Amino acid sequence: NDFNQNQIKVFPNPANYEVLVENQSDTDYSCQLIDASGKIVFKGNSSHKIFKINTSDFPNGIYIVQVKGNKINSSQKLIIQHK
């Protein structure tokens, strides 16, 4: 399998009330948001190109957005910064 980081875009970063995960490949995938302590604070599955995560209830800090699928294995740093 060709794991391509560029297939996944996470924006805006820093995020305020929501973050969008854009999947360039045409496949089902799971998405997790992991906080600095390693705890999974959000889990979801999608087959859509854009996946929206509401981040308004998460405290400010650094998170990892982990996206896994058939041809995807991506981890990207996300900053949540409420204004």
Report helix, strand or coil for 60.
coil
Asked whether 38 and 4 are in contact (CB, 8 A), the reply is no
Query: Nearest CA to 50 among 77, 29, 70?
Result: 29
Instruction: Give the span between the Cα atoms of 30 and 16, in whole angstroms.
Output: 22
Q: For the whole model, what pTM was predicted?
A: 0.89
User: Which of the pair, 37 or 1, is modelled with greater confidence?
Assistant: 37
Q: Is the dihedral of CA 6, 39, 53, 1 positive or negative?
A: positive
Q: How do residues 20-54 score in pLDDT, each as one tens digit?
A: 999 988 789 999 999 999 999 999 999 999 999 99
